[in-house]
Structure 1
Amino acid sequence: MNYSAFHEKYKESSLFGRYITLKHIEPLLTKFQVQIVGHSVLGKPIYQYKTGTGPIKILMWSQMHGNESTTTKALFDFINLLNADGELGKKMRSEFTFCLLPMLNPDGASAYTRENANTVDLNRDAQNQSQPESRVLRQVFEAFQPHYCYNLHDQRTIFGVADTGNPATVSFLAPAYNEARDINEVRTKAIKVIVAMNKVLQQLIPNQVGRFDDSFNINCVGDTFQYLNVPTILFEAGHFQHDYQRETTRKYIFIALLAGIQFLSNTDIVGNEIQYYLEIPQNKVVFYDFVYKNVKINYDGIEKIINFAAQFKEVLTKDAVTFEARIAQIEQLENYFGHVVIDAKGARYRDDADGFPKIDQKADFYLGESMKIVNGSISNHNMV
């Protein structure tokens, strides 16, 4: 199957970039019969879309964290496929019933924050259910009684695939259901779907798939649903090289969704593939957005060569997310990689302040007499 061609065909072109809110998805939802199943803290609607008549029931939700929008884009790409008149769409609708919550945290989406309007992380509220959004998700879960749950998230650019030097473009987790992190029949079902998705992704983005940490936290939704005996899969949409808008990553999330559904459609869930799951390298915090090497500084009259790093901060500005590079680490970078690496080759660091980099300072500076760094990157303009 040409997965990339399928995505190109069904990609929802009206959704682009990192800032995705209700105003972006509501015009799309008018095409379908949707239900408002609750409201956010600020009274925004939480929509449910159900489709299909098949016996296998799958619950998916995205933007539980408001600033994690990549999987929402991929989910709408997947919805377009589900509703297509082609053979594949019809087959999926006949074999599965899908219940989709495409934006669980609309207040956080609007503010571009992880938390909801009460500054609560909904993915740590599974037990207390102190927030209306948390209660909506649990009510839908209990009413729908899914056979599988897909918990759709983004992860930061800091994550790599172990120590390979590759970004973790997609990561998965079959959450633990107890402190011992035992693997029972329920968790094994989730693991098998992950293994099937990983096999497909390895053909497209080899060594760029990670396995998320499975430390048990019953307050997390995935851990709770796994504890309640429903196989649950955590998706983490991460960084692909130079893809800060996550448009390439959305494609691989779409492909993972499709590959996992095909596996459930074509395979009786038997056998043991736990070892294949455990062989997926674990996510590790090993990346900065920029690493600058061999930079000469003068500190208290002493010249020395240092390495330092900068990281983008995502800032909501006039309904768009901008990326502001700031100095994040000085020295002690031996075990880290950069998505962009700039070798100063001994050129002297200069800036408009103290003449040496400082933590949280904007990454605007000079390297020698010919290189100007603006917002982390080498400027296209010649220095004057």
Structure 2
Amino acid sequence: MDLELLFKENKEQKLFGRYITLAEVEPLLLQLNTNNQLKKVGESVLGKPIYSYTIGRGKTKIYLWSQMHGNEGTTTKALFDFFNVLHSKSEFANALLEKFTFCALPLLNPDGAEAYTRVNANEVDLNRDSQNLTQPESRILRAVFEDFKPDYCFNLHDQRTIFGAGTAGKPATTSFLAPSFNEERDINESRLKAIEVIVAINDVLQKFIPGQVGRFDDSFNINCIGDTFQNLNVPTILFEAGHYTDDYLREETRKFIFFALIASFSYLNENDLVSDAIDKYLNISQNNVVFYDFIFKNIKINYDGIEIITNFAAQYKEELIDNQIVFNAYFSQIGNLENKFGHFEYDGKGAKYSDDFGDFPRIDEMANFKLNDTIIFVNGLIKS
């Protein structure tokens, strides 16, 4: 199967960038509602509709949800790309619809999506509310789970640019996890099924992004939805969409998440055997916090009247301004950056730092500065 061509043919062009809200998603769901697949299953804190989209006639039931965290829309884009595949009337689509029934909540947290925040309108992280179920969105997710009775769960998220796959300086463009079901992180039949899916995904993605697939931390927290569903003996796979070089809008990462979805369902459809699945899973590089968005090396600064050569880092903050996501770079670390990497790196070779406030960078100030009064940096990047 030509995954690149499949993505190109089915990419949902009406979804783009980082700011994915109900205003973009709802018309697409209505358009895809060709046979009463769409159902309003509840409302958010602020009264916005939350939809389920159910399609297929197969015995194996797949439950997917995206944007539990409102500012994590990459997987939502990939999910709609996959919906387009299911509507393509291709031989592959018909095989999937015959094998599976898919039930998706494409935008679980519409209030958080509009505000571009991780939390919901009550400032609750829904991924820490799976036991107490204090929020309407959490209760909806659980109610659909209990009604649908899935065979597999797909928990779709984004992760920050700080993560690398291992410690060798490659970004974790995608990461996956078969969540633990107990404190001991044991592997039972249910968790093993999730592991086997991830191994199948990794086999595919390594052909496209070698060394850029990570394995997320599996510390047990029953308040997290993946751990809860795994604890209820339903194989659950966490997807984390991360950073690809120069892809802050996550359009390339979107493609790789799409590939991962296709790989998952191809594997489950074909019932392939995965040998040594646990070893292969554990050989996927662990996610590590090793990246900054910017690292500036060997810069001369004046600190308390003493000139020193040092390094400093900056990190983007994603800020919602006039319904647009703006990436503003702020200084975040000065000094020892050993074993750290930057998605953008610059070696000053002893050049002297200056900005509008003095001769050294200050934490949480915007990364606007000069080197030797001639090289100008605006928002972390060299001004052309």
**TM bucket by the smaller chain?**
over 0.9
- Which letter does structure 2 place at the counterpart of 1:208? Q
The normalised TM-score by structure 1 is 0.98
| Counterpart mapping for 1:223-372 below 5 A | 223-267=227-271, 271-372=275-376
How far apart are residue 303 of structure 1 and its match?
1.1
> Cα deviation per residue 1:81-129 (whole Å; 9 max; x = unaligned)?
0111111111100110000100000000000000000000000000000
Tell me if structure 2 keeps the 8 A contact 1:365–1:374. yes
> Which residue of 134, 141, 148 maps to 1:130?
134
> Cα deviation per residue 1:184-213 (whole Å; 9 max; x = unaligned)?
100000000000000000000000000000
3-state secondary structure, aligned to 2:234: coil
How far apart are residue 301 of structure 1 and its match?
2.2
> Which residue of 181, 185, 189 maps to 1:185?
189
2:217 counterpart residue number: 213
How far apart are residue 247 of structure 1 and its match?
0.3
Task: Say which is worse superposed, 260-269 or 369-378, in terms of deviation.
Answer: 260-269
How far apart are residue 169 of structure 1 and its match?
0.2
Rounded to whole Å, the distance in 2 between the matches of 1:268 and 1:308 is 49
Indicate the RMSD between aligned Cα atoms, in angstroms: 0.8
How far apart are residue 354 of structure 1 and its match?
2.1
Tell me if structure 1 keeps the 8 A contact 2:205–2:260. yes
- 1:77 paired with 2:86, answer no
The normalised TM-score by structure 2 is 0.98
> Which residue of 112, 136, 149 maps to 1:108?
112
2:5 counterpart residue number: 5
1:169 counterpart residue number: 173
3-state secondary structure, aligned to 1:288: strand
Rounded to whole Å, the distance in 1 between the matches of 2:42 and 2:145 is 13
1:25 counterpart residue number: 25
- Which letter does structure 1 place at the counterpart of 2:330? R
Task: Say which is worse superposed, 303-312 or 366-375, in terms of deviation.
Answer: 366-375
* Runs of 4+ that moved beyond 3 A: 268-272
> Cα deviation per residue 1:355-374 (whole Å; 9 max; x = unaligned)?
21010010000011321000
| Counterpart mapping for 1:12-51 below 5 A | 12-31=12-31, 32=33, 33=36, 34-51=38-55
Tell me if structure 1 keeps the 8 A contact 2:354–2:373. no
How far apart are residue 269 of structure 1 and its match?
5.5
How far apart are residue 333 of structure 1 and its match?
0.4
Rounded to whole Å, the distance in 2 between the matches of 1:225 and 1:19 is 28
How far apart are residue 60 of structure 1 and its match?
0.2
- Which letter does structure 2 place at the counterpart of 1:3? L
Tell me if structure 2 keeps the 8 A contact 1:66–1:115. yes
Structure 1 alignment gaps of length 5 or more: none
Give the paired residue count. Answer: 380
Rounded to whole Å, the distance in 1 between the matches of 2:95 and 2:295 is 48
3-state secondary structure, aligned to 1:203: coil
Give me the identity figure in percent: 62
Structure 2 alignment gaps of length 5 or more: none
Tell me if structure 2 keeps the 8 A contact 1:189–1:269. no
Rounded to whole Å, the distance in 1 between the matches of 2:372 and 2:112 is 43
3-state secondary structure, aligned to 1:204: coil
- Which letter does structure 1 place at the counterpart of 2:71? N
